[in-house]
Structure formats: C-alpha cells, structure tokens
Structure 1
C-alpha cells in the first residue's frame, strides 16, 4: 500500500470518542511498528507511514503480522492491535544460477531423471512458484517432484536415447511460473553436454537435514556435515559440494567444504535478526551428475539481550497532597529474546512510596502507595529494574526523577514559645528594639511570612501608639520614647501568617519590659526642702552617744540599683558631734556634749542614688543642743541676733510662739489624761488620730523599722504682724520649723 493510505479507523474499532483522542494522548507504542503506521488524532484513522515489504519482515513465513499497542490516558488503557500483512505478487521467480550445465552419458537410458536447480520466489502461497515449463525439444521433458516439506523440485526426464556423435550438446530453457495475477516468471538456460560413462548420480544420506545452532556460536564453528555417495568408481565417484539456490546473505553467513560437506559459520548468528535458515546443497560427481538436499537451520535463542525500559508517559512532578494511587508514569518493557529469555520481571529498587502495577503483558504503571510530604523529601529518584528469566539472567535499570510540589500544609512556627524583650527607657523614637522570627517549612509563596502585632489584653491602649512591626522581617520599632515610671511592661501578641491559599498562621506572646534608667533624682520627704525653710532639731544636752536625733527620709521614683539611696553630710561646722547613717539617713550623736561645745550647728545633708551617673538632692538642718524649752529661747535669740538684723522682731515672734505652744501643750495633755483615765490603761503616747496627715512615702519609710523615734506632731501658728510660723513638737524633744510666708 502507498504511503498515507488509510488502513482502518482505530477510534471506531476501539469505541473511542474521536473528539477526545488528543486530550487522551492516543499514541502508538511499539518497538518497531511505529515506523510503519501512524494515527491521525483528528479523525482516528490509521495510516501507512512507510512502505511495508512482507518478504523483508517475515521472509517465507506462512503468516506475517505486525503487533503494536495503542495507549490512551485519562483514564489509562492499552489496546493490543494486530495487523496482518497480506502478500501480493510483487516478486518474480528467480534462479540463483541463470545457466545450468548438465553432463549426461550418451548411453543413458530413456526415463532417466536429472534434478534441476529450484527457482526462488519470496512470495508465499499462490504468489509463489506454482509450476515449471521446459522449452520444446524431442529428447527431454520436465517432471516435478514434491517433497514432504511442500517444496517442488524440477527434474529433467530423458525421453529419447542420446547420440553424442549426432549431437554433442543440447540447450533448453527452463521457466518457473508463479500463480499470481498477473503471472510472473523467471528463466534459466540448461546446457546439456553429452559425455561417456557416468551412469550413477550422487545420493545424499537425507533429502532434508534439520539442525539447530546457538546464536552465541563462535565464528567458523561447524553447523552440520552433509554426505552424498556415488556408486560409480574413479573420477565419476568423486563428489563435490556447493551451496545452490542460496541468496547472497546465506553465502555471507555460511560456507561449505566442497570436499567433505562440512557447513560452517562465517559470521555471528543473531536469533533476533533471523530465526531460521534454509540452505540448498548440491552434490556433483566427477561425471557431472548432481543431486540436491536441503539443510534447515533453526537458530536457538541465547539470552544476549537485556530488557529495555521505555517510558511512554511521565509526570515530572506531583503535589504533596496527591492521593495514594496517583499514576506517576507508564513504562513499557521489551526484550528481544524469546521464551523465558524474553520474559521480564520489573521491580522498584529503592524503598520509596511507589509501586509497579502490571497493566498488560508489557506495560506497567508507577503509582503512589501513600501520601508524600515535600517537607521531608522534596524529590525522589525512582529506579525501575527489569530482569529477564534467562540463565544467566540479564537486567537493566531506568531512573525516573520525580519532584514533589509544595502545598500549604504547614503553618509558620516561631523560634521560641514566647519572647521577652528588654528595652531601656528614654529610647529614640523609630529605633529598632527587637525582632521575632518564624519559619515555614513550605516553599515559594506558601513560605512567605507576614507579621502583625496586637494587644494581648484588649483593654490596653492600642499597641500602634507605642510599637510597630515590619510585616516582612518581624523587626519591631518604637513609635515613641518609653518612660519606665509610666509603662513598665507591654503584653503583646505577634501573628505570623503565610501567603498560601488558604493562608495558615500561628501566634506567639511577646513581653516587652522597659528597663529603668537613672532619670529621676531623689526626692527628700523629710525634712521638706522648700525655699526659705529652716528646720530646728533640739538635741538634749544629756543625750548619750549614739542617741537618735532625727532621720532624713527620701524616695527615688526609679527602681532597682537606681533607687538605692545613700545619705551624706556635705557641709558641717567644726567641731561636729553627730554622724549620719549612709543607708538609713539616721542622724545620731557621736559623743557626749560638754559645756564648751558649740551647741548650735547648721548642717547640709545630701541624698544621692546609685545610678550611673548618680543624681542627688540636699536639705538643710539646724541642730540646737538644749535640755528644756527655756534654754531654747535664748539660743534661738542669740542665733537670730547673729544671723538676722531684725533680731528684735524675731525675738518677739519666738516668745509669742512659745507661749501659744505652751498653752496648746497643756490642752493636749488634759485630753490625754482624760483618755487615759477612761481606758484605765497608762500610756505615754498619744492617739494616732491626733497626728496630722503625712506623706504615705514617709509612713512606708517609718514602717520598715529604720526610724526609731515616734513621729512628732507639729502645729503651726500664724502671726499676721510677723508673717511667720513656728512649729513645735509634742514630746521627747522639740522640733522647731520656720517658714517664711
């Protein structure tokens, strides 16, 4: 058939929808047949791709067919198609030797038969040689001999006695005719030479020799030895052998020893190329008589071909959420050997989540056996090994690389279960203060993380007032400067969300603790360091060494080391008879007083914290040594005269304050005595209800046990004329404070 001739419609024969042939990827799968056929996916027709020669494909085989598979996907099916190649009479009979020479003894009796060369016609059946014809003559006729294998040999029959002297040679034409339409023919010239004597032709021991030869037989190995005998004697009994009715390929493959009939190989025999050989052997004696025999050589297969693995369909990647049973690839296995040598077993070499499923006698599907996880293994090398059943067996392998594509099945994961950041107060607004990081084991957009920041407590002010976060890097920035005294801690929630679809997220708690800086100086609560303040502390003249005079009380709004306070004298008069505790601020006497001592001292106390750099505050105290209030007045007067030009005015003020204080003290004592009698319980202290309100920070300092003296009750009297106020204590000793109004 000509190229592009239509053979059949494959789609109709297989019941396939023509419109789906392209999407289902219909294709011819064969080791050899694809060079002869092709399918048009538009109409489903099967076409001849190249000229098909039956004689080349199958030789003299009675039937000739080409087998191939048609494969479709979605779903996957394989159809087996067998196309029989029908013979046409495209070959004429042909004689291997176009000239045949016979030597016949002149006294040969009529009826004697002489075997002639058989013609060759590669066609089969009716298209092969059907009959022979001999040109007209008076001495010879043609007879045909049919052998057991179905072959026909022409024989020349002597019809009339020969006379060498009358005619020493004869020339005839032998014609071979096939049964085709039209009839084809081939001719050979028979030249008959009339000789004397030889009346016995050689006789083979067998008309047909059958032998087997291994395809792995070495070159020049003996296949078989044929033998023919001749009853004549002398030169007429000497037999020589040669190959006849043999193609050129046979001559290249085999040779025969003309003397002993030994047939040997000239080349390597290949079972996959030709499985059977037919040789025609001619034996000729010295008198020119010949006989013929046939040698049939069957080539035995040797396992010399490893299986071949052909990938017919392949998915280079699959999503990691693919269901078990997903088809990865379709492979076809082919072994050119036959029998057990051509039977192939396939397996996957590695321990991978894939298996081979036999789809037909030559096709396998590679499918998943369980779910795959890209985050554990991102790609697989699947090695398929095909092993035949020969002895020894041969095998081959083919590696398929499969990429696992990512799906968004992993949420971002923070590096820590919770984050704690320490940020110094007074930071620069806009500065980077911390960073959080989450990892996503997915890939691509599924691993791209965006960060956001929220209040952990919804009642707190919006976090955006104080902080912001870079949505791509997770770096936190301060929106303003922090003040430890206002905000000591922020409780936040950071969310990391990936860019997958659907998006996955995770949260983590972030605690930002503000670290205190020494930005607040100590504040002195007692004595109050106000402008114009003069604090008088009366010290009994009889005070023992170590007696508590008073206590300086101070606080620091900072915390930690920055709030550790120490107390120091920075300005005192000499000689000075008091000490101050560095840690408590208690002022105590250092020794007993003498009459010659200066009994009026002004001291400056400095309170400093432990920060770096250290901050401090100061206050001034006036210490007056006196055993009674009466002794206090002249001392105050003397002090006033020495330090103030308005001495008389201050003297009047002091006297008035002293009288008023004395009156107030008497009143208070009456009240105390009344309460003591009512409770029948002696006491030397006053009810706390008599004490004026005081700074709670002072109370806290007294409550820790560091101040041993009772809290003095102070009272104030205002004199309009003097515009001054005097404060006197209630008991134990007197504290006098003067404020300028």
Structure 2
C-alpha cells in the first residue's frame, strides 16, 4: 500500500509540473515583459522555456550580444543556456521561503542584451505544490477545563500550520474518537479559521481527571498530507468564565523609523470571574508565525501593552500578524489577532551599480560611444523609491535614460589622452523622498592612447661646437624629442641625414644612437678642411602609422692652433741658399727695405702673426714691424758700417701653444751692383777658398745679365710708356730689389700680410708665357681686392678671393742674375 501511494503521489506531481510548463509557454505579455508560471521545487536544470525564441532573438547571436540575467535575487535561481536559448532552473525554489503565506509569489529579472542594448523584463509566477504537511507548533497541547464547564462550551485550539497556500493548505481537522469532545471550525471576520474544542457532555474530575486525544490536520493537496498533535485535557475545579478581548482583531500602523521600545498598541481582555480565576495574563500565542514576528515585539503580560524591541524595516517586512492570548487564573484562554502595518519612510538611499563598463576606451572614440550601463535601485517604495541620476561637474559624458532604472553613460565630445589621460566620473543618484537621500558612484575611466602626436624637438635648430683634432668615437652632442603619446606610440627612433642630398654623406663622419639621440663623431676633423656641417635629424615614433619630425643640427668645427705660420716671402724652399736684399747706401731712416710675407692656415687668434728678429748683428741698422713684417732702416748708413747683414726672422702666431717659423735673410748695403757683387761673393764663399777664375765668371755673368735686363727695360719703356719716371738711384730698377717670387702662391692662402701702399711703375708678369712688362701710371687705379694692404696687420685677415692679380706684390724685380751667381 505504501508503494502504491508513493507512485500515485509522484504521478500527480508530474501532472502538475507538466501543467505549469504548458501554462508557462502561453503566459508572456505583448508589452515587452515575459510572464512564465512554474511550480516550486523543480529539479535543478529543469527547462522553463526557450527565452531566446520568446524574446524574438536569434540564438546564434546571443553569445556575441552577451545575453545575461540581471537581478539581485533571481540570478541565484535561473540561468540561460546561451547555446540553445533555454531558460532553466539553477537552484531549488521554495515558495514558502520566498513569499511565506502571500497569495502570489513572483520572481522577476531583467534579460539584458548588448549591441544593440535591449532590456526585457521577465516575471515568473511561482506556483505552490503540496510539498509541506500540516504541523502543530507543539506536539502536545495541554488544556485545563473545569469540571463544571457546561456542555457546548467552546475552547479555542491552536491551529495547525501549513506553509502551502490555497487547496494545499490545511483544509480539515479530525479528533480521535471519544465521548466528551468534538471539533468545531468557525470563520473569523478576517476570513481565517478558528478551531474550537466543543464539550459535548459534562466532565467529572473524580471519575477522570484528564483526557488524551489525537488531533489530526489534513490539507487539500493531491495526495493529501496530514499532521497530528496530542491533545491533553486536564480537568480542574470550577472556573466558569472565559476571558474576552475587547476586539477580535487589532489593526495598527506604525512607521518603520519608530525607535526601539515604542508602544505599538495595548490589547485588553476582561474576565467576570473573581480572584485568581479573573486574573488575566497576556502573551503571544506560540505559533511558528509568531515566533518570527515576536522577534520584533514583546507584550507586557500584566497590561497587554505591545512594544517594539527591534528596528523595523519596511523593506524586509511590510506587515506583521500576531496572535495574542489572554489566560485567566483558572487556565481559560481567549485569543485575538494583532495586525501591524509598517509605513515606509525614506530611510534608504538609492544604490548605483554598474551593469556593464568598457574601460579603457580609445581617445579617438566618436561622440555617442557607450561607456557603461548603470542601474539605479532604491529599496524604498513610492516616491521614496524613485531616483534620478546625473553627472557632477563638467565632463565630456552624459547619462541617457534607457528604462526607469537604467541609464547609458555615453561620450559627448572628442577625447584627448594627452590632455586628460583618465576621468573620474562622479554620478549622483537622488530619490524623491522627504528628506531626499542620495548616493554617489565613482567610475574611473582610462583613455587608451592613439598615435596622434608626432615627436617634438625642443627647437627646430640646434648648434654644436666641436674642436678639430677630436678623438674619433666620442659623443659630441645629444638631441631630445618628446612625444606625448604613450607606449610604443611614444618610443622614438633617431636618424640622421644630409640636409642637401647633393652634399657628401654624413654617415662616414657622424653616427647617432637611435634610442638616446646621442651623436658621435666617427673621425677626427680638420677645421681647415671642414668648418661646418648641417645635419638633418629625424625623430620617428613607433606608432602605426608612424609619425616623425625633423630638426637641423649645425656642427661648428672649432679651430685649434695646429698649423705653424708659413713664410711665403722670402721663400724657404731654395734648399738652404740664402736670400739677398740690396739696401741703397743713401737710404734715409725709416726707408722700407722689404717685407716678410707669411700666412697661417688657422683662423681667429690662432692666425694672428707677429714678426721678430732673433739673430742679427748689434747694433743693427734695421728694424722689423711686429705686426706688418716690414723691414725698415733704423738710421742712416755710415762709411764704417758693415755692408752685409745677416738676420734671422721669426714669424710667430698667437695660438696656445704658439707655433712659429723662421727665415734667414741677407741684407747687402751698396750704391751700385759693383758694390754688391763682392758682398755676394763673400756670402757664397764664406768659409771656402776662392779662385780668380770663379770671380771672373761671376763678374762676367753679372755684367751680361745686367746688360740684358737694362736693354729689356728700355725696350719696354720705349714701346709702351710715353712717360716714365725713373727711380732716383737706379735708372732701370726700382728702389728696392727683390729676388724672384711668384705671387700666384698667394692664391692658395686667404691671409696675406704684405700691403701695397703705393702704385708702382714696373710690374712683372706672373706667367712665364707672358713676354712683356706691364707698366702702371703713378695715378693708375688698382682694384682694392687685388692688392695686399700695406697697413694690414695680418691679424685674422681672411679673403674670399681665390686668385690674386699681378700687382699684389710690391716692387717685385727679377733676381735672375742672383740665380746665375748661385750657379
């Protein structure tokens, strides 16, 4: 029999579950809200419905659109299979735990999908099944009845409790067979059943002082469930009046903000008996429902005053229902109900939760980009639970209302990570209660970088100064470019190239560290070859696509004193043979004898030259200008003076350390060539034995050369010059007689120090192919750039001319005859 009953019970349960499944497919509204009905206690993973099809979605898209359940309560009990779209039971659902004895029980949640964003409300009606048996709060119920209690006396009994509702709740009671008592059920004004024990015939304590009966409660489920309690009736002496409450039901409203120990109400009962039989004691009936509610209230047993003993919370429990009993001294009981309604106060601030957040977002995100989905919830009800959201402060974001509880956080303008790398968005939610309550939520939104900024140099042109003769491989300069982007977008690579691609390449001369921007010299430089380099430096970032910028680096080579002065005149390349200058005996003091011409390949202070005598006879009739190199007579000559003077001239630059060059010059004093020849012979034959034959050869050669020179000069003067003013001492020669010198050597130097303070009558052709002389008038104009200024000090003079004209050298004459003498 037990196995058959269980089978029938299981079959009935399956039929009821099947009915609720069929009913759930048909129950969804057309207003965007799905409505399902299911039975409680479904097995885990039981399928409720295909929610994807009911929402009109494509099951292939639900994964990409991130279909999910959003609810603080329902997400514990339901979940969606994104593979097939079925909504199934995730955990055990006990309707009695969720809704207690409420006539309806619903679980709601929001089905949220993205791309595009849609929110669907789903409401699931939890139907009751007969899964609970009736139960009495006490297994044993003890009653005391006076033996003189008249028949038809009604004694209120404790009802059995069944958490199920409707037909599954307690439907009937049954008392075990006896001859004294029966059961009676009455309906109170609030619709609840009152179970009463009715005395059928008088009791006799002396015959039987107690009775034990079985009280059975049966529900209306299929199959039916029952619960029993032992009813123990003690027969006492006479007490013929039962306490009576002034009201069968007490209805009270109290604010949830009422402090602890606040008086809720006072229940009152009266008893016509005297003495102990008329003394009433108040208490809460011992029921399961009262056990829960009486945690928040207590009752004064003497006067029936009910007070709070805990903090009330409308959001937890909106109303309380308690049974109060009054018991007299004789043990008679009366019961009444107290209904307490909790009034809502605005005691809950809104709550902000982030349903979806995208961070970081690219800085090039278009206006209107969705950042986050925000849910606002307030546990209060009515206006106290209505909240509005807005963003505090100014920011490129705004809140767009999606539904009554959801807001979209979107961008309103372009973002720039370099200006603002992140935002701390402050969202304020305020309800409409009085006083208003609010809450603040902070969202930190990071902005991801996009390569939208090229590297930037501190300036467009840099200048570096590098001394010549530098050590190869040494760092000479460092450039730096900054990029406000981040990550690889700000990683900079440096490179160098020529500004003018037609110039020689800079790679053999310079190199750059591609990461640090440090520039290195690949070789040692010579200021005399390269005075300046202009290099294009490019800084390119590592973004995609890469961005770059350029800067110009001008490298100035600084001159060092690495070149000694070079003496152009008198020439030092004659193999050690001395040079001669003839000085007229009648020269007055200060007469210009000759001028030492020297150049220095260096520049600036390093090319400032000074001229000095370092070896000469004392006292000397000659002096040299320290700045111009001009040698002049310091006094008149006398007959007793030495006619030959040998001087060593040192040319020194102004560098550090100073470099110098020397040249030896012989100065011969005489009025005629005949006076000069013996001095020349002595010069050449100094320290060697002479012979008459050699002297004869020298005199003959000198005479022939002089004759030829005089004839040539006369022919030129007759043919090309109508007027000629001969020099005072020598009709065919200028005042000063110089040895042979090619002025074209000056074209290789820019710093000549020999000036031309006068215009000269006789000029010798520079080119050997020219066979005639070029004579100048005393007043003939000569271009300034073709002359060497006599006043030039020789200090840092740099000429841009590459060639010099034939008049750049003063009083140049043939020394051919001296060359012949040297033979």
TM-score when scaled to structure 2?
0.77
User: Equivalences for 1:253-272 in 2 at 5 Å?
Assistant: 253-272=296-315
Q: Greater shift after overlay, 696-705 or 475-484? A: 696-705
1:294/1:542 Cα in 2 relative to 1: closer, same or farther (>3 Å)? same
Q: What is the aligned counterpart of 1:249 among 285, 292, 298?
A: 292
Q: Deviations over 1:276-304 (max 9, x none)?
A: 21111222344554432110112334555
| Offset at residue 451 of structure 1 (A) | 2.1
Aligned: 1:101 with 2:101: no
Aligned: 1:410 with 2:458: no
Alpha-carbon distance in 2 for matches of 1:423, 1:169? 125
Unmatched runs of 5 consecutive residues or more in structure 2:
1-41, 726-731, 735-739, 769-808
Alpha-carbon distance in 2 for matches of 1:535, 1:68? 119
Alpha-carbon distance in 2 for matches of 1:733, 1:125? 143
Contact 1:468/1:479 (<8 A) preserved:
yes
Q: How many residues align?
A: 715
- What RMSD over aligned residues (CA atoms) do the two structures have, in Å? 3.8
1:563/1:62 Cα in 2 relative to 1: closer, same or farther (>3 Å)? same
The equivalent residue for 2:623 is 579
Alpha-carbon distance in 1 for matches of 2:177, 2:334? 24
3-state DSSP class of the match of 1:561?
helix
| Offset at residue 36 of structure 1 (A) | 1.8
Contact 2:148/2:239 (<8 A) preserved:
no
Alpha-carbon distance in 2 for matches of 1:731, 1:356? 96
Q: Greater shift after overlay, 405-414 or 199-208? A: 199-208
Aligned: 1:435 with 2:484: no
Contact 1:105/1:199 (<8 A) preserved:
no
Alpha-carbon distance in 2 for matches of 1:121, 1:657? 157
The equivalent residue for 2:494 is 451
Aligned: 1:225 with 2:269: no
3-state DSSP class of the match of 2:655?
coil
Q: Greater shift after overlay, 583-592 or 247-256? A: 247-256
Aligned: 1:512 with 2:555: yes
| Offset at residue 566 of structure 1 (A) | 1.4
Alpha-carbon distance in 1 for matches of 2:510, 2:250? 103
The equivalent residue for 1:635 is 676
The equivalent residue for 2:632 is 588
Q: Greater shift after overlay, 298-307 or 276-285? A: 298-307
| Offset at residue 712 of structure 1 (A) | 5.2
User: Equivalences for 1:646-657 in 2 at 5 Å?
Assistant: 646-657=694-705
Alpha-carbon distance in 1 for matches of 2:111, 2:284? 45
Alpha-carbon distance in 1 for matches of 2:426, 2:332? 66
Q: Greater shift after overlay, 227-236 or 454-463? A: 227-236
Alpha-carbon distance in 2 for matches of 1:731, 1:553? 11
Alpha-carbon distance in 2 for matches of 1:206, 1:143? 21
Aligned: 1:565 with 2:609: yes
1:701/1:509 Cα in 2 relative to 1: closer, same or farther (>3 Å)? closer
Alpha-carbon distance in 2 for matches of 1:383, 1:636? 112
Q: Deviations over 1:649-695 (max 9, x none)?
A: 22222222232233233333323553689xxxxxx999xxxx99832
| Offset at residue 65 of structure 1 (A) | 0.8
Aligned: 1:694 with 2:743: yes
Aligned: 1:710 with 2:760: yes
3-state DSSP class of the match of 1:648?
helix
| Offset at residue 30 of structure 1 (A) | 1.7
Alpha-carbon distance in 1 for matches of 2:621, 2:437? 114
The equivalent residue for 2:411 is 368
Alpha-carbon distance in 1 for matches of 2:556, 2:232? 124
The equivalent residue for 2:661 is 617
3-state DSSP class of the match of 1:521?
coil
Contact 2:134/2:226 (<8 A) preserved:
yes
Alpha-carbon distance in 2 for matches of 1:702, 1:48? 108
Contact 1:58/1:64 (<8 A) preserved:
yes
The equivalent residue for 2:31 is none
TM-score when scaled to structure 1?
0.85
Alpha-carbon distance in 2 for matches of 1:132, 1:519? 129
Contact 1:605/1:618 (<8 A) preserved:
yes
The equivalent residue for 1:666 is 714
| Offset at residue 307 of structure 1 (A) | 4.4
Aligned: 1:80 with 2:128: no
Aligned: 1:604 with 2:648: yes
| Offset at residue 167 of structure 1 (A) | 8.0
Contact 1:555/1:697 (<8 A) preserved:
no
Unmatched runs of 5 consecutive residues or more in structure 1:
678-683, 719-729
Name the one with the larger strand percent.
1
